[in-house]
Structure 1
């Protein structure tokens, strides 16, 4: 099937762009965006998923206001024949200027949330090196390439109660663009296949921060190894970066040391990130010590990340078209328990006398003795 992308000089396999170079059903492309204000009042995360070997395109948004209310809208459609149209019901995605500007839009709908957000990158995208790669019991579970970018948003977000104008001096944003073999959400409900290994414990940590004259990002995956009695880092990538026009290229990070604290005061939200410090060492030997303070939270499990909330997870066939939405009271402990899992924390970062903003994703599951956790 010919698409408009077949006019471009960027083919890499003897096929049209409607099919990837692999038949793996796990082949996934994602565009993800989150924005949050500097006071911690509001935090929105949204994304698109493209699954050509599942014949699905889906989209979601999670919008948390004052850690009291969260709006959720999810939608899914049959991918073909409109394979080159980035629209799922009222959701739309547009690359306005490659490697610089993207637009996410949600038209008015019955669920009381709409928005139009243009993210303008403040620095060039950072290519995550190496690619994320994991094998479990002989099966490639993940082989993902991604790029990330910090930016400032303009536009608006509207709920039934209020409208938020996005002032780029008071809001920040981050985006992730990824493609490859991915542990698609639907794999969690797939039957007839051997389940992956269950490790004693795991740590997942992604951070993207922007200061006025520089920024940093890193992505860590660790497994607790009982034989070695220490965490084993199976994926690490990170870099320091600088704004457009600075004339400076990004610099790879050699290592990151993390020292986090957690809040276990709420039984329905165990291991909630409470802050900490990271020490970044670049390839040139330079070292930056950065403190992190969470200022907002967005619960993304209901959006399809990891949790099977009310019948939806990324990459799951829901028919030719499907859509739902909710307004949740996230002050209710029962609701918090139901949606707890993968979260993004809007964060304030401090390095010396500099103050920056960005996002922290952190999950510690199972055994991780360095932080006092001995099991699931």
Structure 2
């Protein structure tokens, strides 16, 4: 299946670009964006993902306002050309300049969400540690993920209301990842791992946060067991855009968080800290401003039946909405991306998503089961 992508000098296997280096049906290649307005209660999540071994490419745009979260999603057959990221229902993604500028479009006519947004990088990308886990002899997760902050220009239409988007007040981050991950609708029959309930123990506390300040980006990420052991511990400062330098490792990430005991939602008064470039400890106070729910029809699970990689034929498109003022609704569409104002002890003021999940028992914050 030779395609236009094969004219680029980017091959990593002896086969055409259309064929992934593994036949694992869970292989994926995805863009994920978060974005917000500093002056309005608007917080959005965008995504485009290709699943070569499922023959599907899909996309979604989900916008949380002060009362509801509106999501439009679409899917089509992938076809032979992996460079073709247009015509996913109303959506399309263009890489205008690699690691610098991308354009996400979606016609508003007849749909809950429409947009024409250009994302421009504010810092160099940060590579997270490689993802890898195995159960018995099977690779369960293996991939690469990078984080990059930026600013948006264009417009956004949600529930019929148009918002002009300018880079001075519309900021956000992107999560670019690819590899093997347990996502994609086609499931295999249960085997020995399921029968014997084998698998990697899930860490109770998860934190993922690209912190975007005016003149720097700090990525803070932890995966921590109840006894304090950590599987992931990342706190890094991105290189300045175009500087030609590498990211800088900061150190000693810590957290002092407050949660609603019933919903486990992050509350005001939370903070994180780290050892900064000059050796002093910088504390960042987190003030939640707004929340976008990851499972509000975006394909990540929850009450909605659509999942990433699900085959829906050619040109499938659909819109859903969720009342995010109703606790009965929000309890089943979490976890949340919490948009926070981030006040550092250095005097810097930043903004960004603070994704936090607490699973099961974590006594430090009052959760016993």
TM superposition score normalised by structure 1: 0.89
Q: Which residue of 1 aligns with 2:152?
A: 153
RMSD between aligned residues: 2.3
Q: Which residue of 1 aligns with 2:295?
A: 301
| 1:137 CA displacement | 4.3
Q: Work out which of the residue numbers 214, 221, 234 in structure 2 matches 1:212.
A: 214
Q: Which residue of 1 aligns with 2:323?
A: 329
Q: Which residue of 2 aligns with 1:227?
A: none
Q: Deviations over 1:304-326 (max 9, x none)?
A: 45424321112223334422111
Mapped contact 1:206–1:220 kept (Cα < 8 A): yes
Q: Deviations over 1:59-109 (max 9, x none)?
A: 11210111x111111212221245331031111111111111111111124
The residue matched to 1:366 in structure 2 has which SS? coil
Q: Are the structure 2 counterparts of residues 305 and 137 from structure 1 closer, same or farther at C-alpha, using a change threshold of 3 Å?
A: farther
1:33-182 to structure 2, matched below 5 A, reads: 33-39=33-39, 41-66=41-66, 68-87=67-86, 88-128=88-128, 130-182=129-181
CA distance in 1: counterparts of 2:222 and 2:354, whole angstroms: 12
Name the count of aligned residue pairs: 362
Q: Work out which of the residue numbers 237, 246, 251 in structure 2 matches 1:249.
A: 246
Q: Which residue of 2 aligns with 1:192?
A: 190
Runs of 4+ in 1 over 6 A off after TM superposition: none
Q: Which residue of 1 aligns with 2:271?
A: 277
| 1:140 CA displacement | 2.1
Structure number having the greater strand percentage: 1
CA distance in 2: counterparts of 1:40 and 1:259, whole angstroms: 28
The residue matched to 1:370 in structure 2 has which SS? helix
Q: Are the structure 2 counterparts of residues 93 and 107 from structure 1 closer, same or farther at C-alpha, using a change threshold of 3 Å?
A: same
Q: Work out which of the residue numbers 259, 262, 269 in structure 2 matches 1:262.
A: 259
Mapped contact 1:185–1:305 kept (Cα < 8 A): no
Mapped contact 2:302–2:332 kept (Cα < 8 A): no
Q: Are the structure 2 counterparts of residues 286 and 26 from structure 1 closer, same or farther at C-alpha, using a change threshold of 3 Å?
A: farther
Q: Which residue of 1 aligns with 2:232?
A: 235
TM superposition score normalised by structure 2: 0.90
Mapped contact 2:62–2:113 kept (Cα < 8 A): no
Please, which runs of 5 or more residues in structure 1 have no aligned partner?
225-229
